[in-house]
Amino acid sequence: MELCENLSGTLCQKRFFQRKLKIKNRKGEKNSKPLPGIITLPEKLSIAFGKEIMSIRILLIIIVALLNSAYMNPAEKKDKYIYYRVKKIVDGDTFWIDDGSQKGLKIRMIGIDAPESRNSGTRETAFFGKEASDYLSSLIAGKKVRLEYDAGRLDKYGRTLAYVYLEDGTFVNAALVKNGYATVMTVPPNVKYADTFVKLERKARNNKKGLWK
């Protein structure tokens, strides 16, 4: 209070408390920290931005799931493919499946040609025809198969053209060519596996398999 010797008592006290308040305020500014439980503006912005990113990610996941379901064949089952029971073997490259209709569906395998196993209106029984028919029967008779299509779905006889697979993944068209029970027959526009069949036929011929003996 010695600084106030030349001032009146009331004014001196006023000056003293003003100086004390200023010092206290300066200390408060230096030591100021956010109180526990209080979120600062930068933290609020960070939280809001994080929530927005999370929302975008969730939205993208939903979009991808919808796109996948949109492009999936409606006829496909839980395991992605639909399988049909083989009803009857016609010859080494043709057979009937049970598609739910009364008659069934006649399938002609794409990209291959097996020797005729019986006389028909235009063809006679060919060399190795019975062996080819017996091999196909041993491979798929009574079993379930799935069908894969190419650009053309039907031939001029109304038969369904398909690549055929067993439940264990065996590619039946390829197996017939690989083991010498069928030759390559490429009919555009169904050429998806033409190169594969050509390579398999060449290998079967070199190894003298089946009809190449």
Query: Is the residue at 3 inside a domain?
Result: no
**Residue 48 and residue 135 in one domain:** no
Greater confidence, 192 or 69?
192
Q: What is the DSSP letter of 161?
A: E
Query: Is the residue at 164 inside a domain?
Result: yes
Catalytic residue among 116, 124, 148, 202: 116
**Residue 101 and residue 147 in one domain:** yes
**Residue 95 and residue 137 in one domain:** yes
Q: What separation in angstroms does the CA of 205 have from each of 113, 134, 172, 181, 189? A: 15, 20, 18, 11, 26
Catalytic residue among 159, 167, 201, 202: 159
The tens digit of pLDDT for each residue in 165-175 reads: 999 999 999 99
What integer pLDDT is reported at residue 88 of this predicted model?
Answer: 97
In contact, 164 and 147? CB cutoff 8 Å = yes
The tens digit of pLDDT for each residue in 101-141 reads: 999 999 999 999 999 866 565 665 667 889 999 999 999 99
In contact, 198 and 173? CB cutoff 8 Å = no
Q: Which residue has the tokens 């062996």?
A: 131
Q: Residue 28's domain spans which residues?
A: 8-71
In SS3 terms, 88-148 reads as EEEECCEEEEECCCCCCEEEEECCEECCCCCCCCCCCCCCCHHHHHHHHHHHHCCCEEEEE
- Say how far apart CA 133 and CA 116 lie, in whole Å: 8
Nearest residue to 152 (alpha-carbon basis) of 181, 201, 191: 191
Query: Is the residue at 1 inside a domain?
Result: no
Catalytic residue among 2, 76, 85, 108: 108
Residue 14 three-state SS:
helix
How many CA atoms lie within 13 Å of 211's alpha carbon, on the beta-carbon side? Answer: 24
Question: How would you classify residue 210: left for phi > 0, otherwise alpha for psi between -120 and 50, otherwise beta?
Answer: left
What integer pLDDT is reported at residue 47 of this predicted model?
Answer: 72
Residue 190 three-state SS:
strand
Query: Is the residue at 204 inside a domain?
Result: yes
- Residue at which a domain ends, from 22, 50, 71: 71
Domain total of the chain = 2
**Residue 39 and residue 126 in one domain:** no
Cα angle 174, 168, 213; round to 5:
35
Q: Give the chain's largest Cα–Cα span.
A: 138
Query: Is the residue at 142 inside a domain?
Result: yes
Query: Is the residue at 151 inside a domain?
Result: yes
201 catalytic? Reply is no
CATH of the domain at 166: 2.40.50.90
**Residue 14 and residue 96 in one domain:** no
205 catalytic? Reply is no
Structure confidence at residue 209 as a pLDDT band (50, 70, 90): very high
**Residue 29 and residue 117 in one domain:** no
159 catalytic? Reply is yes
Chain-centre distance for alpha carbon 177: 28
Query: Is the residue at 77 inside a domain?
Result: no
The tens digit of pLDDT for each residue in 53-64 reads: 777 878 888 887
- Say how far apart CA 9 and CA 1 lie, in whole Å: 10
pTM of the model: 0.62
**Residue 49 and residue 113 in one domain:** no
Query: Is the residue at 180 inside a domain?
Result: yes
